[in-house]
């Protein structure tokens, strides 16, 4: 049974006004437990609208969102449950830090869940550890942290609710390469350690290729493709047509192929090097 499903989900913006438009349309997708799904698509393709449906922030006009076997709009209780089962971390989450200390900020979610003080304490420490925040930072004001630390603190606040599904909307936007790699590493190890399902909204085809198990491509409010990294990235022409691009190493392999040297395909530098070296040259 999938952990998360959208069945025929449609959402309208500005309903009932002259500017009414379909933000997403007839979305059908099943996400299996434990997957790390990269969600890609250009601006306005409906990525953010879709993920906001997954934890009940937006209500579909038509169709159902099923989380852990339950329709989240069946009754009030189901909706509330969905908000804890599916943790959503917005773009630039560091702008949402507000408490006096990092500790209080991370504990805000679990507190709202009505957990006991002891359990909250345990969760805050564990979440801080997952995101690589040192213990001594917990008593600092969130505003004294560096940009990368702030972002990790904000993500820890969502992780502390121990959601079954963690959704991150462009968690690496605006970071420098090192900050970006730390966040990607963190997401990967969080998933491996907890077995949780993670949805990663991203503009970077390179980042998605590095860590995702599945890729969901959105275009004009609909699901264009959904499959493994290999299945999706091999459609480079279709991806380009909808304003996306394949990683630079994949282009290298495409050029080789058009010159009569078919080495298969590679979407990360590691894989590309491995393939080329296996073809020879290494012994020279």
Q: Tell me the window of 2-10, 109-117, 217-225, 255-263 that interacts with another protein (CB under 8 A).
A: 255-263
Task: Tell me how far CA of residue 192 lies from CA of 186, 187, 188, 196, 240, in angstroms.
Answer: 10, 9, 6, 8, 32
Closest approach, Cβ 144 to another protein, in A, equals 7
Sign of CA dihedral 267, 268, 269, 271: negative
Binding mask 97-126 for another protein (x = CB under 8 A): ------------------------------
Whole-number Å distance between alpha carbons of 249 and 251: 5
Do residues 142 and 171 touch, judged by C-beta distance below 8 A?
Answer: no
Q: Please give the residues from 17 up to 46 whose contact with another protein meets the rule CB under 8 A.
A: 42-44
Closest to another protein by CB, 135 vs 261, is 261
Q: What is the contact mask toward another protein in residues 164 to 193, using x (rule: CB under 8 A)?
A: ---------xxxxxxx--------------
Q: Residue ranges of the alpha helices (H) in 36-135?
A: 47-54, 76-85, 102-112, 117-130
Residues 130-149 that bind another protein (CB under 8 A): 144, 146-148
Exposed / middle / buried, residue 227 (Cβ in 10 Å: 0-12, 13-18, 19+): middle
261 contributes a contact to another protein by CB under 8 A: yes
The reply to whether 264 sits near another protein by the rule CB under 8 A is no
Q: Give the residue among 77, 72, 44, 47 at the shortest CA–CA distance from 60.
A: 72
Closer to another protein at the Cβ: 115 or 154?
A: 154
Alpha-carbon span 78 to 72, nearest angstrom: 5
Which residues are at the interface with another protein (CB under 8 A)? 42-44, 144, 146-148, 173-179, 203, 205-206, 243-245, 247-249, 251-253, 255-256, 259, 261, 269-270, 272-273, 276-277, 279-284
């Amino acid at each position: 049974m999938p952990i998360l499903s959208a069945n025929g989900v449609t959402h309208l913006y500005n309903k009932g006004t002259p500017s009414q438009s379909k933000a997403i349309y007839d979305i059908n997708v099943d996400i299996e437990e434990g997957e790390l799904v990269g969600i890609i698509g250009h601006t306005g393709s409906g990525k953010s609208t879709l993920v906001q449906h997954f934890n009940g922030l937006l209500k579909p006009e038509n169709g159902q969102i099923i989380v852990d076997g339950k329709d989240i709009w069946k009754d009030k209780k189901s909706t509330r449950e969905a908000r804890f089962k599916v943790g959503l971390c917005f773009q630039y989450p560091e702008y949402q830090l507000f408490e006096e200390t990092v500790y209080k900020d991370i504990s805000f979610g679990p507190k709202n869940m009505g957990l006991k003080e002891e359990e909250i304490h345990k969760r805050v420490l564990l979440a801080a550890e997952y995101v690589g925040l040192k213990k001594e930072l917990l008593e600092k004001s969130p505003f004294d942290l560096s940009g990368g630390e702030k972002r990790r603190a904000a993500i820890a606040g969502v992780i502390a609710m121990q959601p079954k599904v963690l959704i991150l909307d462009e968690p690496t936007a605006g970071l420098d390469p090192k900050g970006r790699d730390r966040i990607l590493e963190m997401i990967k190890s969080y998933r491996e350690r907890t077995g949780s399902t993670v949805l990663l909204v991203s503009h970077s085809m390179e980042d998605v290729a590095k860590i995702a198990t599945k890729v969901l491509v959105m275009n004009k409010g609909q699901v264009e493709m959904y499959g493994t990294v290999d299945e999706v990235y091999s459609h480079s022409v279709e991806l380009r047509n909808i304003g996306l691009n394949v990683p630079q190493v994949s282009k290298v392999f495409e050029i080789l192929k058009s010159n009569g040297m078919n080495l298969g395909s590679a979407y990360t530098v590691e894989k590309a090097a491995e393939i080329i070296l296996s073809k020879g040259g290494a012994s020279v």
